[in-house]
Structure 1
Amino acid sequence: MLQSVCLRGLLLLLVGRQVYTQEQCLKASVYTCADCIKSGPGCAWCKDLNFTKTGEQEAARCDTVAVLKERGCPVKSIINPKNNIQYDSNRPLNTGQNTGQNPVQIQPQEIHLDLRPGMPHEFQLYFKRAEGYPIDLYYLMDLSYSMKDDLENVKNLGNDLLKELNKITGNARIGFGSFVDKTLLPYTDTNEAKLKQPCADKNEPCQPAFGFQHVLSLTKDGNKFRDMVAKQHISGNLDPPEGSLDAIMQAAVCVDEIGWGNSTRLLVLATDDGFHMAGDGKLAAILEPNKETCQMVGNKYSMSNIWDYPSVGQIARKLEEQNIQPIFAVTKKMETVYAELSKLIPKSAVGVLSDDSSNVVKLIVDAYNNLTSEVIMAHDALPNFISVKYTSNCAGGEKPSDRGKCDNVNIGQNVTFTVKVTADKCFEDSQSFLIGPLGFNEKLKVTVQTRCKCECDDSNKPHPHCGGQGTVVCGSCSCNTGYLGQRCECKLGQKDEASLKAQCRKDNGTECEGKGDCVCGRCQCHITEGGGNFYGEHCECDDEHCEKYENKQCAGHGKCKCGKCECEQGYEGTACHCAKSDEACKTDGSVCFNRGKCECNRCVCERGYKGPYCKTCPTCQRPCQQSGSCVECLAFGTGPFEKNCSLACGHLKLATVEKLVTSDCRVKDKEGCWMTFTMTELLGFDTYFINVLKDRECPVGPNIAAIVGGSLAGVALIGLLILLIVKAILYASDLREWKRFEKDRKHEKTSGTNPLFQNATTTVQNPTFSGDS
């Protein structure tokens, strides 16, 4: 079983593993196959000559593999470079007792990655602590006057400490150095006599004031340690903080003087007080910053009074570079101070000294065991545009982080780290960096190159596809000088310049949006102020001007693409400033009542709904009339939906009740009866729970006989009255005219002839008239 697991692990090591997405292709300024490949890991290029249509831009050749296949590009014509890993040194782990001075604790030791930009590549890195791995321990002691009692115990420390360390490894060395502080005011009394004898008791053996001095290089001889330390005497200074950081810096960078070897490097700092840091040197008019280089002359730090104290960041960086693990052996009152310092220095530990440092051996052994059981996998300074993430097979190490970590790792235990390397952009020359466990000298060298060119095996001869005025490069034409166009059909100066320029205007606006030059109907975009490129058909896009949050573009959680932020997984918002979460949008088991989206942990409601959870809609009206037919069929089994009620009215859930406290709706059914009901909207849109009053209000039927009889009698009576009224009016009118006639006759004076009659003035006799009728 174990062999099978190892075989699978080795197979993964040999082939690596690629993790990337090809779901989308975010094209920018694409004119060639190389442009397409640089656009993102989801982009592929179709080199088939007849793939693009007449007048279609060459950018159409660039898309996802799925889209290119769907559009008819043959599989053999699709160019889609993948990541590649090469193992230059892959010696198996060798950590047994007989490994000598050169065990193999990490595998592989050197790899070469060919990465496509934006496409992460994963590989396995194995680590195993070697048995009997050498230990180098440099004891750095504060010799200010308050450490007098501690010095006496340290003088007898060497053999005991070597004995305990050899129980662990069988191959241990120990060295010694001491420090006080800079010999300038206000740190040290600069009176000549005080510089030579800084101790209060003039009869007591006392060293002259000093900054840092190296006493004993690393050795396996415990007696030599005892003899050299026995010659040391206490010294003194003025202020409580000491020059600890000066001493740590020199102990870290003076590799040859200290004698650091290929080993677990421990630096024990024993002190009873705090430390000066960068900037404190200004009190003594020291303005030159610490240069982080070894400056030992005669085993003493020669630049103590010229260079400022180093910063905590400088100390942390140098200790990590030299794989030195500090152990701060301090008094109880200083434990909190150095605990905070330890948080800033990876692979460091803090132990509390007894009043006379009698417990220092146990303190160092315990700290060593804690440090070596914690494995932190990290990298040195990364080249530009390269990122690295780690996961491990340890509990708690499953999530990607900037450093891999495993706790409680025993000697001989195999730990596997999955390392994911991503190149964000193309770069010309190969770039290298180192990966390894902190506190160990063994490192994996990773060399990275980017795959940003297409290998199409094209001929460099003029091709008929390009009108004989250019060559085919991955399916598209590379035109000769003076020719442009999809098929090199455009010769500069031959076409109507106005029509060509019109092609460069978006919506009749400025040519190429003022960010490029219009050349033969196509925009050639300028370089942005930040050194990037404008892109797009009309140079309308760039990747440098997206919304910012806390002065970071896309809040540092996304990439700017054509003026809009594309957020990393787990983030959202216009500036990628929100961690994806819907906790504040949840209520009653739903998110925003299913009536909106949860963005930046707040509900964005739709269709007029308001409130923190989209629960209410002030402008919405109950669809009473529209629901009437469904209520009729669901509650009473009648109406126009009687035959397909469940299908047509599935959006309503209904219950009949004896009584309604309040009612929203009152609607007539097909039979003219009033249906009374309430509507309560359920989650989402247009789904309601309806309470319907069990009994409808139907009108009482009319008395047809009474209505008909009464109506006929009324009509006859009305008709009779109308006739009588008309008759009376006519009679009255005739009577009035008769009386007027009679009155006029009484006043008439008559002669027997009509006064209006006049005789003829001329009489003519017809000669033929005989008088006979």
Structure 2
Amino acid sequence: MSSLFNIAAMSFQADRRTFYCSIHTLNKMAAGTAVKSDNFTKQGEQEAARCDTRAQLIERGCKLDEIISPDNRVIADKKDPLSDSFSQQEPVQLSPQKISLNLRPGLPSKFSVSFKRAEGYPVDLYYLMDLSYSMKDDLENVKGLGQALFTALNNITKGNAQIGFGAFVDKTVLPYTNTNKKKLQNPCDVDEEQCQAAFGYRHVLGLTPNANEFTNKVKDQFISGNLDSPEGSLDAMMQAAVCGDKIGWRNSSTRLIVLTTDAGFHMAGDGKLAGILEPNDERCHIGGNLYVKSNEMDYPSVGQLAAQLEKNNIQPIFAVTENVRTVFQQLSKMIPKSEVGVLSANSDNVVGLINTAYNKLSSKVTLTHDNLPDNVRVVYTPKCGDGGGEQSSAGESQGVCDNVKPGKEIHFEVTVTADTCMKDQSFIIRPLGIKDTLTVTLNTECECECQRSSGSSSHPHCNAKGKVTCGICSCNSGFVGQFCECSIGNKDERSLRASCQKDNGTECEGRGDCVCGRCQCHNSESGKSYHGDFCECDDDHCEKFQNKLCGGNGKCNCGKCNCNPGYEGSACQCKVSKESCRTLNNTECFGRGKCKCNRCECNEGYQRPRCQTCLGCADPCQTKLTCIECLGFDSGPFKKNCSVACSLSIYHEMVDQFTISGKSCRVKDTESCWIEFKLDQLVGEDNYKAEILKQRDCPEPPSVTAIIGGSIASVALIGILVLMLVKLLLYMKDLKEFKKFENEKKKCRWADADNPLFKNATTTVANPTFTGE
């Protein structure tokens, strides 16, 4: 039963309904001991039906004494009365101080918180001053303001004020400060000027009630200097906030930091200019009254500073000159409980400025909280009375009362809602800038306090196979089901339940109960029943049109719309009509698509509106060429079965000239003849009318005589050319050999000697007619 209430509570959480668990009445009969059970849930109906609103349960027959309804409980564990004025004991300004809440998930709980500012409440004011050279005139004025500051604060706190003093300039490294040794000792431009050495932040005086001590310490201060305009204001404020033991903050006091400057401020990330990369650790690093980590640690971010100021209940007052007023107003928006005032040229109005800022801070009461547990919501409603109330600009996460007079009691209504079950969770509620807190401890009621049992293990309500506990059957071994009606026999319960799972998914899709291996479906949100073997179907989640299920023109069945006569479409959004799908030849989408919702849904590639043209389709001049060739000229690949392959897709005729206005084609056929024809696509995807020119443009046949004569002449010419080439090569070879012979001949040397074989003639014949002349 405990889990039942938890499940039901979560199922109705979205609309924040109130839930009640009904139990069955156990009546004792006059004769003997008999138990009668009210059959509150029906066969197959989920047990979560026991959880509903009180009115619905009563309407279904429940009696008031049969209804278990845990209420939210608010217990004030500590509620000390508010103090009227400050005394030696710590005053109480917020009541109650501790609250315990026992909540039901999703059910809001309200309680009241009271606040009253105790009169004469102590004030600790830490004066943090910029001592760069441009603040020279301001320092001289502050040296004489000690008594005036104490007088103003004592008027507010009835003599219970303390004042401290600190000073800052900037980090003593380039590019913020001149690191020349002489300049570090005397950073002022004028040599005769009395000027103290450069420094980041110096704690001068802890909080003291002695006005003379404050005046004397401030008089000992001298101006210093640096290079750039922005100063190390955030460094100084962070140290003043976290070094409580050094500053001397009291536990019971209003803590104020008054920052006076005429320049802007450096913040996290600016340290990179000086090679300082270590993030600010938000810890105290004061040694010898100086911030010793100034040159090693980056400036804090605005978020870090705001968190530490809030944690330590410190309220800053920015007393700045007119030139940087806008900058510090933006900073003030990011720091809760802070004020900005404009200094005069020489800071002679600082006392009045502090007094005005303090009155604004103390008259504005802001109630808020720290980190909340997950799934917990808190809303504040101020009840300020004469003080006037306003919602925070941040939404409902704060409650604000403004213009609250001293000693006036105001109230806040706090609404807490836990959306899930939780145990021993807590958070803190506090007024900003005030030490008093309220601790809220959260627990939730996620179980029905019902342990009533019939005692008998054979209760009639459970078919004598189990007992009744809080109206629900606990079955004996071997039986399952809402009323123990199913005997599992040799099967275990797991196998029965597996038969109720579709594709090993959730049992009955989470919409029904598995009874003896079959799904018994619950009712849907609209009151209709889920249906299907696994309760996978419902009649509530079909497509809508104009915010109506199935456009109001059909019925939803298992996620699909069954349209009424005369309507069509996925959401029955269209009246049946094909007017816009009709073509000039009275066809529907040219036979290349279907008309749905009076609109053509074209086959792949064909374009709307009427599927007339096709993008990306093959060129019909090429695809229909073989059919044109066989139909028109009895040639080509389809020559033998042309009537079968082509007559059904092309209606053709032979023409001397074209008449239809289709697609013009001029292509070569398999015989290299140019064929010209026109195609007009008819109704349907592969249905054409063709006009084919009777004449083809074929090339002239070749001349046999010319070919033979040309061949012979070519052979003869080639032979002559070959012979001439051979003759040329032989001639070139002979010429080369002759030249070689001539060269060798020139190199020979002949010897003068007689031929031993030569003999002179032995017979001499004289010519008788030779005269000798």
Determine the C-alpha separation between the residues in 1 that align with 2:89 and 2:41: 64
Query: Contact conserved, 2:46 with 2:513, CA < 8 A, in 1?
Result: no
**Partner residue, 1:430:** 424
1:281 aligns with 2:275: no
User: Are 1:417 and 2:412 matched, yes or no?
Assistant: yes
Residue 456 (structure 1) aligned to one of 450, 465, 483? 450
Distance 1:387 1:514, change over 3 A: closer
Are 2:162 and 1:190 aligned?
no
1:351 aligned onto 2:341: yes
Residue type of the alignment partner of 2:316: P
Task: Assess, with a 3 A threshold, how the Cα gap between structure 1 residues 504 and 265 changes in structure 2: closer, same or farther.
Answer: same
CA distance in 2, matches of 1:410, 1:510: 63
Distance 1:203 1:482 in 2: 105
In structure 2, what is the Cα distance between the partners aligned to 1:325 and 1:382?
23
Secondary structure in structure 2 of the residue aligned to 1:193: helix
Task: Name 1:223's counterpart in structure 2.
Answer: 212
Distance between the aligned counterparts of 1:516 and 1:238, measured in 2? 78
Write the deviation string for residues 343-399 of structure 1: whole angstroms up to 9, x where unpaired: 111211111111111111111111111111111111122222211111112345379
Q: Matches of 1:481 and 1:253 in 2, distance apart?
A: 67
CA shift, 1:235, in A, is: 1.5
**Residue 436 of structure 1, CA deviation:** 2.1
- Which consecutive unaligned segments of at least 5 residues does structure 2 have? 25-36, 520-532, 548-574, 576-773
**1:79 Cα deviation from its structure 2 partner:** 2.1
What are the residue-to-residue correspondences of 1:218-257 with 2, within 5 Å? 218-257=207-246
Q: Name the stretch that deviates more: 147-156 or 511-520.
A: 511-520
Identity of aligned residues (%): 56
Q: Give yes or no for the alignment of 1:139 onto 2:127.
A: yes
Check conservation: 2:391, 2:400, Cα contact below 8 A: no
Select 1:46's aligned residue among 22, 25, 29. Answer: 22
**1:178-217 equivalence runs, <5 A:** 178-217=167-206
- 1:309, distance to aligned residue in structure 2 (A): 1.3
Contact 1:37–1:45, Cα closer than 8 Å, also in 2? no
Task: Tell me the alpha carbon deviations over residues 505-531 of structure 1, each in whole angstroms, 9 at most, x when there is no partner.
Answer: 49x9986559999897499xxxxxxxx
Q: How far 1:213 moved relative to its partner? A: 1.7
Query: In the alignment, which residue of structure 2 is the partner of 1:475?
Result: 471
CA distance 1:351–1:198, shift in 2 (3 Å):
same
How far off its partner does 1:486 sit?
A: 1.8
Instruction: Give the corresponding residue for 2:440.
Output: 446
Structure 1 residues 90 and 177: alpha-carbon distance in aligned structure 2, compared to 1, 3 A threshold: same
1:444 maps to amino acid: L
TM-aligned CA distance change 1:54 to 1:540, over 3 Å: closer
1:665 maps to which residue?
none
The question of whether the paired residues in 1 share the 8 Å contact of 2:270 and 2:298 is answered with yes
Q: Work out which of the residue numbers 76, 82, 92 in structure 2 matches 1:104.
A: 92
Aligned pair in 2 of structure 1 residues 68, 231: CA closer, same or farther (>3 Å)?
same
Instruction: Please name the residue that 2:758 is paired with.
Output: none
Name the amino acid aligned to 2:142. V
User: Which residue of structure 1 aligns with residue 161 of structure 2?
Assistant: 172
| In 2, Cα distance between equivalents of 1:249 and 1:359 | 26
Q: Report the 3-state secondary structure (helix = DSSP H, G, I; strand = E; otherwise coil) of the residue aligned with 2:390.
A: coil
| 1:264–1:324 contact (8 Å) kept in structure 2 | yes
Cα distance change on mapping 1:340 and 1:477 into 2, 3 Å? same
| Aligned residues of 2:239 and 2:284 also touching (Cα < 8 A) | yes
Matched residue, 1:593: none
Question: Counterpart in 2 of 1:588?
Answer: none
Shift of 1:444: 1.4
Query: What is the rounded CA distance, in whole Å, between the counterparts of 1:482 and 1:173 in structure 2?
Result: 81
Is the CA contact (8 Å cut-off) linking 2:72 and 2:103 kept in structure 1?
yes
- Deviation per residue, 1:548-582 (Å, 9 max, x gap): xxxxxxxxxxxxxx999xxxxxxxx99xxxxxxxx
Cα deviation digits, residues 75-100 of structure 1 (max 9, x gap): 2222221110111111222223x634
Based on CA coordinates, which of the two structures has the bigger radius of gyration? 2
Aligned residues of 2:230 and 2:265 also touching (Cα < 8 A): yes
User: CA separation of 1:145/1:67 partners in 2, compared to 1, >3 Å: closer, same or farther?
Assistant: same
How far off its partner does 1:476 sit? 2.3
- The 5-angstrom pairing of residues 662-701 of structure 1 reads none
Match of 1:155 among 118, 132, 143: 143
Pairs within 5 Å for 1:77-92? 77-92=66-81
Measured at CA, do residues 71 and 229 of structure 1 come closer, stay the same or move farther in structure 2, by a change above 3 Å? same
- Quickly say closer, same or farther: Cα 1:186–1:101, change in 2 above 3 A: farther
1:266 lines up with 2:259 in the alignment: no
Counterparts of 2:348 and 2:179 in 1: how far apart (Å)?
Answer: 33
For normalisation by structure 1, the TM-score amounts to 0.60
Structure 2 length normalisation: TM-score?
0.60
SS at match of 1:390: strand
Distance 1:287 1:522 in 2: 68
Q: Provide the aligned length of Structure 1 versus Structure 2.
A: 504
2-side partners of 1:102 and 1:430: how far apart? 29
Give the CA RMSD over aligned residues: 3.6
Kindly provide the amino acid, as one letter, of the partner of residue 435 in structure 1.
Answer: I
Q: How far off its partner does 1:214 sit?
A: 1.2
Unaligned runs of 5+ in 1: 1-28, 524-536, 542-561, 565-572, 575-618, 620-773
What is the CA–CA distance in structure 2 between the aligned matches of 1:119 and 1:235, rounded to whole Å?
62
Secondary structure of the structure 2 residue equivalent to 1:55: coil
Task: Check conservation: 1:31, 1:58, Cα contact below 8 A.
Answer: no
Q: Deviations over 1:290-338 (max 9, x none)?
A: 2222222222222222222111122222212211111000011111111
Picking from 295, 306, 322, the partner of 1:316 is: 306
What is the distance in 1 between the residues matched to 2:268 and 2:475?
Answer: 61
> Which residue is equivalent to 2:112?
124
CA contact (8 A) 2:21 2:448 kept: no
SS of alignment partner, residue 187 of structure 1: coil
* Cα distance in 2 for residues equivalent to 1:522 and 1:228: 90
Amino acid at match of 1:443: T
Q: Flag the 1:110–1:460 CA change in 2: closer, same or farther, 3 A.
A: farther
Aligned counterparts of 2:211 and 2:535: Cα–Cα separation in 1: 74
Counterpart CA distance in 2 for 1:323 and 1:497 is 61
In structure 2, C-alpha distance between the alignment counterparts of 1:452 and 1:468, rounded to whole Å:
31
**8 Å contact from structure 2 (residues 254, 433) kept in 1:** yes
Aligned mates of 1:148, 1:293 — CA distance in 2: 31
Partner of 1:534: none
The amino acid across from 1:486 in the alignment is: Q
Question: Aligned pair in 2 of structure 1 residues 418, 497: CA closer, same or farther (>3 Å)?
Answer: closer
Alignment pair present for 1:68 and 2:57: yes
Match of 1:6 in 2: none
Question: 3-state SS of the aligned residue for 1:269?
Answer: strand
How many angstroms apart in 2 are the aligned matches of 1:122 and 1:54? 41
The one-character-per-residue Cα deviations of 1:530-551 (angstroms, maximum 9, x if unpaired) are: xxxxxxx97999xxxxxxxxxx
What code does the residue aligned with 1:328 have?
F
Q: State the 1:412 CA deviation.
A: 1.4
Q: Is the Cα–Cα contact under 8 Å of residues 456 and 467 in structure 2 kept in the other structure?
A: yes
Letter in 2 for 1:318: Q
| Counterpart selection for 2:403 from 408, 411, 415 | 408
